[in-house]
Amino acid sequence: MARTLESLVPGTPVFAGSTRVGDVVAVYAEGEARIAELVIVKWAASGDDVAVPTTEIESIDAQGVQLIRREADQYKDLAPFDVERFPTLRKIA
Query: If you average pLDDT over every residue of the chain, what do you get?
Result: 93
What's the predicted TM-score (pTM) here? 0.93
Judge residue 74's burial from the number of C-beta atoms within 10 Å of its C-beta, 0-12 exposed, 13-18 middle, 19 or more buried. Answer: middle
Residue pLDDT, tens place only, 48-83 = 999 999 999 999 998 999 999 999 999 988 989 999
Nearest of 31, 49, 38, 30 to residue 5 by alpha carbon: 38
